[in-house]
Chains A and B, each alone.
Chain A
Amino acid sequence: MSHGRDEQDQTVVRKSITIGRETAEVYRAFVDGSFVAQFAEHLDSATEETGGAWHWMSTTLAGSSGHGTAEVIDEEPNAYVRWRWLEDGDERGQGTARFRPAPGLRGTEVAVELEYDARGGAPGRWVEKLLGTEPGQQLLRDLFRFRQLLETGEIATTVGQPAAREMTGGVLVSAAGQPSGRVAQ
């Protein structure tokens, strides 16, 4: 059933994170597709379409390109947003995010839930292509990267660092000298 949802067959992954920023700032960043594309590992870029939906491009973890649309279907600014993923018009899954102030001066608590049909049909395969075989773990990775970007302005990475093996991916932005560094490994 490409447009309906049977509650009992949905796979749900839920992760929470606390981010040391005001709720309005966190919410604004989360619903901005171009910001999301910066931290979500599976997204390369996102462009806003008329009507407010976000069309995004992805080189998935499996290495094959994909694309999709994220469309907000319900929201309460600074508190709640629900969206659905579409691939060429077919719904592949939904997500919700809830935002509330964290206790004390800790910032904002964000709770994200992803729902999709993992039974083996097109939706499940698509989500797996996008998020890998452990969507919960990928969601957590993405939320960590979301926090890093908001709190430090950077995403922690070691891609491009030296090692005594074939380096795949990553580019050295600059080098400190001739490639003659001796290291203990």
Chain B
Amino acid sequence: MGKHKVEVHTVPDPGIINPKDAIVRITSTAICGSDLHLYDGHIPTMKEGDVLGHESMGEVVEVGAGVKRVQRGDRVVVPFAIACGECAYCRRGLTSCCDNSNPNAHLPEAMYGAAPSALFGYSHMMGGYAGGQAEYLRVPFADVGLLKVPDGLDDEQVLFISDIFPTGYMAAENCGIRKGDVVAVWGCGPVGQFAIRSAFLLGAERVIGIDREPARLAMAGEGGATTIDFSDDDVRVTDALKELTGGRGPDHCIDAVGLEAYGDGVDAAYDRVKTMLFMATDRPTALRQAIQACAKAGTVSIPGVYGGVLDKIPLGAAFNKGLTFKMGQTHVHRYMDRLLELVEQKAIDPTFVITHRLALEDAPMAYELFKAKDEACVKVVLTP
């Protein structure tokens, strides 16, 4: 409803608008680190009254006339990005680049040169779709989007396939890990936690987690990572990484921190955006460190959300060491079947990341808790 102002309201239930829509009754939903950018007022084109949330799952209660694959009663997980399944990008499995899901595509086109897919609950520039921190959610292109959940798995075991699990997994896959490689992960929030575990699944021999929150460092350790705690002023992350890697630096560096983008000078969603001013927090430090620390011929993999322009990125270091950069919003649809299989095979139990379970009604308090990282908060699941 405004900066640092999340409220729970009663609104009309969503209905079928387009033939390929489905309506899902939400049984579990979560707050994402990127929701905090909305909460802090850093993402432009939000309107008072917008419904938030992009990590949701539940039961299909209604389907439009054009829906063939899912039906009422199916238990489903909803990917955070909306994909049509028909465009050139969707056909390549690059669903977060969908051409057709964003009714306001002209806005990101103006800012970025081309428009990515729409996202649930993440500003009008990204489509303006009502999100899933709610009792019901309208899901466009339901046949493409919805992942059916087999019996025998709890909500908590599969909910994170909506976003943070594939986000961490894709970040690790983007590294091109060869058996025996060493991976460093900046940011041990939920995405970083999944990146750590995914890196091991993909063949890394050692994974190093970098953070300053004790609970997050401990959780990373439980996932097998060696940790670097940079809250200690005596610790220089790049030096520590050299020591931990025999002077080589990590073969692959994952930036799971991202950058909070500040909007300045944008008055309305329908102005043509020519420039966007962003004030950097100290988080670009993570990306700079990653570039500086990365071993020669290594990869810098960026799942952390970036929105604008950065200053002083050491491209000279990147060039001269022959680094590869891979990044982007997660192509959830590409990974969800594989990740469901990993959960079914018990190769990973995603519930490890949950620290708090609250009711949807407690959302205002939950946002504050998550933002402040109080009570060792890492991940909050809400139940409507």
Contact = CB atoms under 8 A, between A and B. Distances in A.
B130 A173 contact: no
A3 interface: no
Interface in B208-254: none
Contacts of A151: 84, 86-87, 99-100
B118 interface: yes
B272 A144 contact: no
A112 B143 CA distance: 33
A39 to B, nearest CB: 12
Given A184-B52, A184-B134, A152 B20 contact: yes
B361 A185 contact: no
A181 B1 contact: no
B360 A152 contact: no
Given A156-B127, A162-B14, A20 B88 contact: yes
A163 B87 contact: no
Interface of B: 1, 6-20, 23, 25, 47-53, 61-62, 66, 84-88, 91, 99-103, 105-106, 109-110, 115, 118, 127-130, 133-136, 138, 140-141, 270, 272, 360-361, 363, 382, 384
Interface residues of A, number: 42
Please name the 7 residue pairs, one residue from A and one from B, whose CB atoms are nearest each other, closest first.
A165-B49, A184-B133, A183-B134, A164-B49, A184-B363, A172-B15, A164-B9
Nearest to B271: A134
Contacts of B88: 18, 20, 106-107
A163 B11 CA distance: 6
B48 A147 contact: no
A154 B20 contact: yes
A159 to B, nearest CB: 7
A148 to B, nearest CB: 5
Interface in A143-185: 144, 147-148, 151-165, 167, 170, 172-185
The secondary-structure label for the interface of chain A is loop
Contact of B360 (A163, A165, A184): A184
A140 interface: yes
A151 B136 CA distance: 28
Contacts of B91: 20
12 contacts: A107-B88, A144-B115, A151-B87, A163-B130, A164-B11, A172-B12, A173-B15, A174-B62, A180-B10, A183-B134, A184-B52, A185-B51
B100 A165 contact: no
Contacts of B270: 134, 137
Contacts of A148: 84, 100
B129 A158 contact: yes
A181 B18 contact: no
A183 B135 contact: yes
Contacts of A162: 11-14, 51, 130, 134
Given A106-B88, A173-B17, A183-B11, A161 B135 contact: no
Contacts of A154: 18-20, 66, 140
A182 B130 CA distance: 12
A165 to B, nearest CB: 3
A141 interface: yes
A175 B12 contact: yes
Nearest to A144: B105
A160 B118 contact: no
Contacts of A167: 12
Contacts of A134: 270, 272
Given A175-B13, A184-B52, A152 B141 contact: yes
Nearest to A142: B106
Interface string A112-128: 00000000000000000
A130 B172 CA distance: 49
Interface string A40-60: 000000000000000000000
B13 A181 contact: yes
Contacts of B66: 153-154
B127 A176 contact: no
A110 B112 CA distance: 21
Contacts of B140: 154, 156
A167 B14 CA distance: 13
Contacts of A155: 18, 103
B171 to A, nearest CB: 27
A95 B189 CA distance: 53
Contact of B136 (A147, A156, A165, A181): A181
Given A137-B272, A147-B100, A164-B49, 17 more contacts: A134-B270, A141-B106, A151-B99, A154-B19, A156-B102, A162-B12, A165-B47, A172-B17, A174-B15, A180-B135, A182-B8, A182-B10, A183-B135, A185-B7, A185-B8, A185-B11, A185-B51
